[in-house]
Amino acid sequence: MSRTDRPLNFWTVIAAILIALALCGLTALVFFVRPASSGDVQLAPVSLTVIPAPTSTPLLPPTPTLDPAFQPTSTPAPGEIAVGAYVQIAGTEGEGLRLRDAPGLGSTPVFLGYDSEAFTVKDGPREADGYTWWYLVAPYDETRAGWAAGDFLEVVPSP
Any domain includes 145: yes
Residues 112/96, Cβ–Cβ less than 8 Å: yes
Any domain includes 72: no
Q: Which residue has the higher pLDDT, 121 or 3?
A: 121
User: What residues are paired with 86 via a beta bridge?
Assistant: 120, 156
Any domain includes 77: no
Domain ranges, residue 94: 86-156
Any domain includes 71: no
139 pLDDT more than 80: yes
Residues 145/124, Cβ–Cβ less than 8 Å: no
Kindly report the CATH number assigned to the domain that includes residue 125. 2.30.30.40
Any domain includes 1: no
For the entire predicted model, the pTM comes to: 0.53
Alpha carbon 151 to its chain's center = 45
- For 116, the 3-state DSSP assignment is coil
Q: Where residue 87 falls among pLDDT bands split at 50, 70, 90? A: very high
Any domain includes 110: yes
